[in-house]
Structures are given as structure tokens and as C-alpha cells.
A and B are shown apart, each in its own frame.
Chain A
């Protein structure tokens, strides 16, 4: 759960780092070390203060297009000056002293639909060992946050529902696997990642149409669930391995699978087709992209279908029976092994779909993306009551909503903290979860 990832989420578009890659003036070699910086430095700026020897420099771009005429102001040590970016989006501001200054990007001079990341329009910068200091402003798509509190709450609620629904897809599988086999499956995160990686392989690398790639990915995810059960979990059940060793095996499996993904796909984050579509649907204060709408609709339809399966079909009822009490179910003639196999296949498919939606929500596909939300999935399952499918749904929605709403008062790189704290508090007061029964916790 890296902070960069949480930032990327908020913007519904990539936050762009607009400046030379040089991070800080702590780098000893400074300008000489980076060719990009040397180029920046040698270009004359429209209104640079020629008398000074210390400069703040930067480059304002959005979506790789330079923004002209953006006003930057420097202030501090009794000195104040401002400049505008040139046609290449570059700016340069000279200051009299090698000291700390405050730099402000005037948001009113940005084009419509572009904003500076919240709280980052003004940055404090200080020179390091060189006479030049690159200053970054992080831009993103979106509307100025002049929206009132009610509208903000509404936006977060919609985002939270979207996130909660995709969590629910993964959580229901995890919860049913726990219910039918007693296994706390830490490798569920890797089943989530698998779905997204398969879409990446078929949709991007092999350039199949995206709907076909998604269909293939879900089928393969179901196949992964089946394979894991057939190759690892079923033989271990046959050996009579106890639950805690099983859980540790799943941790080992999670570690091995995760780094196998990194081995083959590398450490970079890549985008699925359409992940950066603009947000063009406006409902009141809420702006959504088509991807958001499709994602929520998919989750709702799949969850409803799965609920129908659990409540109305024979095998679904058998699944709930096994989840409730495996020995009793076996005694009444239910083929427990078959039910467990179905749960693994369904759990794999749901986790894969959840991974695909998570790849669009973050947005991006990376080797550890499932592991980033593993604890949230566990939190959702525990909140709802271990082993209950509908508890997992309720728990996921609560976790999703809580995470998004908590950004109203928590910094966004801390939003997962709130959800995990709530998990601990719920265990304190209602350990069986919201829909769980007391006897389960024993």
C-alpha cells in the first residue's frame, strides 16, 4: 500500500509529475548528473531575473502537453516575484538568497478541468548544494475543490460504493473458502492480481479486443482456483493437515506466487486499455467515467447473480450448508468435496474479476496490487462475520465507504489506517462480526 498509489486513486487520472525527474538538490552532482535538467537549465526563460544567481525552475505539463501562461509566484525572505510559463511550459524564477522560499502555482491560470493536487498548490522549497532547484507541482484531472461539504460527501460515497463492490467480489470468495474449508487463504490476493495480469497479457501484449481479454482472464482465474484446490489444498486436506499449518502454507504460496508475478511481469505499473478515459458523465456534483459506471454495474449484476445462485439453486444451498456445518452437510448426503471444488472455482473467478475492476479503479496493473488490498478484504470478511457470504458483502461496503469518507478528515496516505483501526474496534465489541453468529468465534 504505497502512498503514491493512494494519490493516484484520488485523481481519477494519473497525477503527473511535471518536472524534471531530479528529486532533490541533495544529489551531489546536481545539474550535471541529469541530462534532462541540463537542458532545462540552458533554455532561456521568458521572464527570468537576470541579476540573480539562484533559481527555482520547473516545467508545467499536463498529459504530456505543456501549459502556457500558468502563473508561479515566489515569496519569502522579504522578496516576492512571479512569472508565467512559456510555450514549452517552462518557468524560471531568480531569488536573491540561497534560502527557503514559498512557491505558489495560481490555480486560476490553469486550463479548465486541470487542478493542482489538494494542498500542493503552495510548496516550500530550499536550495541544496547547487544554485538551481527544481520544484514540482502535481497536476491532475478534476474540478477545483470549491465544492461544498455535502457534494464532497456524495462524491466519496459513490467512490466508496464502487470500491466496496469490487472488494465484495473478492471477499465473498474468501469468506466461502473459509466457511467450507476453514482456511484463511492469504493467497487470495494473488488470485486477485492474476485476473488483472491476464487481461494485461491478452488485452495489451497480445492485443485482443478488451471484452475477449476480460472473458479469457475470468475463465483462467476460475481455472487457477480449480488448479490450486486440486494440486495443493485437496491433497493437504486428505493428509489431515491442521488449519494453522494450512494458513502458513497459504502464506508461503502467496509469497511464491507474488514474486513469480514480479519475475515475469517486472516491477512496473502498466495501464489497461481505457483506464485513463476522461470523466465525462456529470450527475450533480459527481463526475464519473464510463469505466466507473461499467465497473459498478458489473459488480452489482455479478453479485446479484451469485446471490441467486446461493439462495435459489440446489448446489448454492448445498454450499451454504457446507459453509455452516461441513460434517452435518456430509451426513445429509451432500458431496462436500464437490462443493469445495465449486467454491474454489467460483472464488477464483470472482477474485479475478475483482482484480480487473481494481486495476481500473487504482488505476494500473502491478505485481503486488492484490496484496495491497488483502488486508482490506480480510477486514471486510471479519467485519461481516467469517464464513458468511452476505456478511462479506456488507463488510466490504462498509470498508469501502469508510475508506473513502475518512479522506474527508484523514490525509489520503492514511486512509487505510482508519479501516484497519475499525477492524480492531469491531473485534473488541462484536467479535463475531455484523452478520456472524456467536458460536463461530469459540
Chain B
């Protein structure tokens, strides 16, 4: 028989897991790029990789304290955004898409190659960078919580820091978008030429948007590595596509969309793969193996992206008037 309690409790755990927080923050950054400014950034995985490697390399190779490691990651992503933006922000939207996806792949290949093995750990990646972060933990050792949400002190610490960051940056995004700066940004999405005619420097505003959303992605990359190791294979283009799925699910030009979207995405995904895996185990799906059951979730995400874009492009929370791409 199927162990429904395990399936539900695993799915419930995803609600507050640090991975969900990391995807929510990365999707918020993408909401600034894509939802509010209309920039097609397909390199969010690259920004996340810079956060992960910026933090891990500064800690491991240079012995930086936590705050300095965070600054290194953020600085690297600002430079990355400048490099991406300078050639492409003047061109049509799909050029930015191709360049960002290529740049994110370049980063991943550089982090994977054997040439810089001493620094990046090549394909096997890095670990052992968590001590500084764990030392900041004010929670005394022990196990806390109830039901499925029972974790030790470090696991709670990651969750608290991760979700605090998500809340802070969601508020920041909300403030930004109701400021004059946010109005210009949304104006660029609606009609670039009109904004230019008002005397605004569209190029510079786009660049600022690219940098801010990229920094969100970088911080998300740092949350992402706290419960696991840094492995270059995690930063493939499918990571960016997953974040797009979350953004489209929640609503591209919304604050709550990316956050709630991430929760729904991960809870559903965990429930679905938990159910299929156990259904295969119980012999309900005789034509499928356990490995194949694991791949079904990716097929599902792909189909979900297609259906969302076609039938509900504004997502759950979005407003159809605020769509970057209905032109």
C-alpha cells in the first residue's frame, strides 16, 4: 500500500525548505528583469552560480569572513551584469536571451573545467564552507519543531535566514516598484520609445534593473548552497527554466507571485514525484521503473510551462494588463 503520510509530510516540508526560499528569491530577481522591465534574462542560473562560487571560493581559498564572502559574490554578479548588459541592452529582446544563456553556460564550463581545479574543485565541486555561517547561529543545539517540520539548530538557521531574506527582498521590490524608478521601469516594458521621448536614459535604467535582479539571483545562489554542496552540474540552463516556470506560475509582474509560486511548485513537484515513485514501488504502474518515475517530473514541468504561457500567461496572481510580452 502507499504510505500517504510520508508523501504528504515530504511535500509539506518543501513549503519552508531553503531550496524553496532560494528559488523564490531568484524568481523575484527574474520578476524585476522579465516581469517589470521586460528583459529576457535566460542566465539567472549564471547569477546563482556566481553567488555560490563567489561565497565558497572566498571562504575556502582566501579565508574571508561571511560578510566579505557575500560581498565578493555580489560584486562578481554586478560585474557579470555589466558585461552582459553592455553589448545587448541596446538590441532586440531575443539577443539578450541568447547572450545571457550563452554567458551562463560559459560560467558553468569555466567552473567545471579541470584547468581551475585548485580553485573550483572542477566537476566534483566544493564543500566545507559552512562553518562561518553555522558559527553565526544563535540557536542552541538541539532539535525543534513539530510534525514534519522537525529540524536541528543548523537546519532551522538556514530556513530562518533564507526566508528572512525572501521577505526583506519582497518588501524592497514592492517599495522599488511603487517608487518613481519603478514607474520608469514599467514604462520601459510598455513602450520603450515613449519613455525615451520623455528624456529618460532607457539603457541606463535597463542596466540598473539587470544588476538589481542579478544580485537577487546571487543571494539566492548563496541560500541554495547552504543545505548542500556546490556542484557545477546544478547550474545548467534547466535551473533557469525552472525559475521561469515558477515565475509564470505565480505571475511575472507581481511580488507575491514568485514567492507563492515557488512554494506551490516545490510542494506539487514533491507530492507528484513522491506519489509516482511509491506507485511504481506498489506495482500500480508496471510499465515504469523507479528511474523513469524520477524523470516524469521534468516532463511535467515542461508541459506546465507550455500550458501556462498559452492559457494563463498572467499566472495565479498576475494582471493580464501587466504582461511584458503581450505586444
Question: A252–B303 Cα gap in the complex (Å)?
Answer: 6
Distance from A410 Cβ to chain B, minimum over Cβ atoms (Å): 9
Residues of B within 8 A of A427 (CB): 87-88, 91, 95, 99
Question: Interface extent on A, as a size class?
Answer: 35 or more
A91 at the B interface (CB under 8 A)? no
A310 at the B interface (CB under 8 A)? no
Known A244-B325, A256-B299; contact A3-B123, beta-carbon cutoff 8 A: yes
Residues of A within 8 A of B301 (CB): 252, 255-256
Known A184-B97, A248-B244, A252-B304; contact A242-B299, beta-carbon cutoff 8 A: no
**Across the interface, do B86 and A411 meet the contact criterion of CB distance under 8 Å?**
no
B290 at the A interface (CB under 8 A)? no
Known A245-B325, A249-B309, A253-B306; contact A184-B299, beta-carbon cutoff 8 A: no
Residues of A within 8 A of B102 (CB): 375, 378-379, 420, 423-424
B150 at the A interface (CB under 8 A)? no
Residues of A within 8 A of B106 (CB): 417, 420-421
Chain A 140-194 interface residues, beta-carbon cutoff 8 Å to B: 184
**Across the interface, do B91 and A431 meet the contact criterion of CB distance under 8 Å?**
yes
**Across the interface, do A259 and B295 meet the contact criterion of CB distance under 8 Å?**
yes
A414 at the B interface (CB under 8 A)? yes
Question: A236–B313 Cα gap in the complex (Å)?
Answer: 13
Question: A344–B301 Cα gap in the complex (Å)?
Answer: 25
A360 at the B interface (CB under 8 A)? no
**Across the interface, do B87 and A252 meet the contact criterion of CB distance under 8 Å?**
no
Question: A191–B324 Cα gap in the complex (Å)?
Answer: 29
**Across the interface, do B99 and A252 meet the contact criterion of CB distance under 8 Å?**
no
Q: Nearest residue in B to A376 (C-beta to C-beta)?
A: B102
Distance from A231 Cβ to chain B, minimum over Cβ atoms (Å): 12
Chain A 232-289 interface residues, beta-carbon cutoff 8 Å to B: 232, 236, 239, 241-245, 247-249, 251-260, 262-263, 266-267
Give the most central of A244, A247, A431: most B CB within 10 Å. A244
Question: A184–B313 Cα gap in the complex (Å)?
Answer: 19
Q: Nearest residue in A to B307 (C-beta to C-beta)?
A: A252
**Across the interface, do A375 and B113 meet the contact criterion of CB distance under 8 Å?**
no
Known A259-B295, A375-B102; contact A252-B97, beta-carbon cutoff 8 A: no
**Across the interface, do A257 and B113 meet the contact criterion of CB distance under 8 Å?**
no
- Which residue numbers of A lie inside 8 Å of B, CB to CB? 1, 3, 184, 232, 236, 239, 241-245, 247-249, 251-260, 262-263, 266-267, 375, 378-379, 382, 411, 413-414, 416-417, 420-421, 423-425, 427-428, 431, 441-442
What are 28 A-B interface contacts by the 8 Å CB criterion? Answer: A1-B109, A3-B113, A3-B123, A184-B94, A184-B97, A236-B310, A242-B327, A245-B310, A245-B313, A245-B325, A247-B94, A248-B305, A252-B304, A255-B301, A255-B305, A256-B299, A259-B295, A263-B292, A263-B295, A267-B291, A379-B98, A417-B106, A420-B103, A423-B99, A424-B102, A427-B95, A431-B95, A441-B92
Give me the 3 closest cross-chain CB pairs, A-B, nearest first.
A256-B302, A252-B305, A255-B302
